[in-house]
A = this chain, B = another copy of it.
Amino acid sequence: MEILPEKNGPWTIRSWKIIHDSQWLRLTEHGVTQPDGSEGQYGVIQFKNLAIGVLPLDEDGNTWLVGQHRFALNEYSWELPEGGGALDTTPLETAKRELREETGLSASDYHPLCFFFTSNSVTNERAYGFLAWGLQEGEASPEPSEELKLREIPFRELLEDVISGKITDGFTITMVLMAAEKARKGLLPEPAATILKAQID
């Protein structure tokens, strides 16, 4: 939506203005003619980063959670390694960097797990999740604005915490459930498939 389009689906766009523009997001307001002919307004939050997440998996079926206080919620949250990636960097590159920064881990193999829009009523934020295996441990290097805890957890236990509602981060929930479902349906490469299947049966 860099250039004002004349049409956006059933809406005719008459005008638009930038309300706020920062490093992270741009908020715009659009004057539109609605499907029934009446006039209306649409606010859109354009994200300037992709949401990138990784589900790292070791040979024993363990994965890693990152614990952090989420400013927007004023709540503590345990999540799979996630972070923002520049729009001109491939999701895979960002996934590798985020995994290394937040956990110190590097992985020999990455497999695309899911793609989705996190909240499409008002934002255009896109999320890309990866499954990663062939892990090697190293030194974590979190950003100065982050205060992270790290926890190793069997995938089986994490799946239980997702189902019970203990995990509240939507992206983590989606990656975990998608990994379980794809493992069941035989849609993941080896050795990840066998490792995960042992965790969900």
Which of B30, B70, B145 has a CB less than 8 Å from the CB of A120? B70
Complex Cα distance, B119 from A45, in Å, reads: 12
Q: How many chain-A residues does the 8 Å CB contact rule pick out?
A: 69
Whether a CB of chain B sits under 8 angstroms from the CB of A136 is: no
Contacts of A32 in B (CB 8 A): 71
Which of B69, B147, B163 has a CB less than 8 Å from the CB of A185? B163
Oligomer copy total: 2
Can you list 26 pairs linking A and B with CB atoms under 8 Å apart?
A: A8-B69, A24-B122, A25-B122, A27-B27, A32-B71, A42-B72, A44-B71, A47-B122, A51-B119, A70-B117, A70-B121, A72-B124, A73-B117, A114-B165, A115-B168, A117-B170, A118-B119, A118-B170, A119-B171, A123-B123, A163-B178, A163-B181, A170-B171, A170-B174, A174-B174, A177-B181
